[in-house]
């Protein structure tokens, strides 16, 4: 399979560096520091010079506006290698009972959730863990939207870390592979497990925040290696292919 130079694809048009609005004034010192750091970040360096945090959440449902975080899982990628010694998993207590239909999916029972610490503790630890890393996730807009909603409640601001969506990366990769044959990828599935199986990646337990983050980390590294076109990608190149547009509440 030939490497793909995604910078020539139509999918990258309309790129904007993904920082939060200028009028956002985070009250929490870590959020303020993050805003300052990313505003001055040199995004022209090779990817192996940046740290990435791959994260996933499990919620009480699928509504960005009303459902709550039950678990957060994350791990770090340094020098484009997964660092299993730097990982994060937190079960948080929602304000309402976990619905039965959600328990069937992620296995976190109402009694387990009720015994967990409040979400504010998880968010504090998550801020410490993410630090100045670039955030990665599969359909990350959902996770970041909910996290930012809760950060605004608890700490008066939201994350300023650029966010890379592996679903977007996979779409750009597939569209480049099937250039000139749109009908071949029009209905292609971007499900995390299906992508991982197709690309021959290790498979982990589904619907667990940490193992889904681990699954995403493998997919991320695979796609980056496939899409570099025999040259060194910079962070700017990566963001052109996979950055999300930020949502605010």
For residues 231-242, average pLDDT:
88
Per-residue pLDDT tens over the stretch 85-123: 999 999 887 766 665 565 546 656 666 656 668 899 999
Alpha carbon distance 69, 92 (integer Å):
7
Nearest to 156 by CA among 65, 23, 60, 64: 23
* pLDDT at residue number 148: 95
Q: Which CATH class is domain 6-242?
A: alpha beta
Domain boundaries, the chain: 6-242
CA atoms within 13 Å, Cβ hemisphere of 162: 25
List of E strands, 121-162? 134-137
With cut-offs at 50, 70 and 90, classify the pLDDT of residue 9: very low
- Spatial neighbors of 184 by CB under 8 A, at least 6 apart, are 178
What's the whole-number average pLDDT of the chain?
A: 81
Q: How confident is the model at residue 215 (pLDDT cuts 50, 70, 90)?
A: very high
12: left (phi over 0), alpha (psi -120 to 50) or beta: alpha
- For residue range 13-49, list pLDDT tens digits in order: 333 334 444 444 546 899 999 999 999 999 999 999 9
CA dihedral 36, 40, 41, 45 (to 10 degrees): -170
Instruction: Give pTM, 2 decimals.
Output: 0.82
Which residues of 79-197 form beta strands (DSSP E)?
A: 81-91, 134-137, 163-165
The CA distance from 75 to 56, in Å, is: 10
Using an 8 Å Cβ cutoff, are 160 and 132 in contact?
Answer: no
């Amino acid at each position: 399979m030939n490497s793909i130079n995604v910078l020539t694809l139509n999918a990258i048009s309309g790129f904007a560096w993904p920082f939060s609005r200028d009028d956002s004034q985070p009250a929490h010192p870590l959020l303020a520091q993050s805003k300052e750091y990313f505003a001055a970040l040199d995004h022209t360096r090779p990817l192996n010079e940046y740290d990435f945090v791959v994260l996933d959440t499990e919620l009480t449902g699928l509504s960005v506006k009303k459902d709550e975080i039950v678990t957060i899982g994350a791990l770090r990628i340094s020098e484009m290698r997964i660092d299993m010694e730097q990982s994060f998993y937190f079960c948080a207590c929602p304000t309402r009972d976990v619905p039965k239909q959600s328990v069937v999916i992620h296995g976190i029972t109402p009694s387990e959730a009720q015994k967990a610490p409040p979400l504010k503790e998880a968010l504090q630890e998550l801020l410490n863990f993410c630090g100045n890393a670039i955030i990665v996730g599969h359909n990350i807009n959902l996770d970041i939207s909910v996290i930012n909603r809760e950060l605004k409640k608890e700490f008066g601001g939201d994350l300023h870390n650029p966010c890379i969506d592996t679903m977007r990366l996979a779409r750009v990769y597939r569209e480049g592979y099937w250039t000139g044959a749109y009908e071949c990828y029009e209905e292609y599935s971007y499900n995390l497990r299906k992508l991982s199986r197709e690309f021959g990646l290790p498979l982990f337990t589904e619907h667990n925040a940490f193992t889904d983050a681990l699954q995403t980390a493998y997919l991320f590294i695979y796609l980056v290696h496939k899409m570099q076109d025999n040259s060194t990608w910079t962070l700017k190149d990566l963001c052109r292919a996979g950055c999300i547009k930020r949502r605010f509440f």
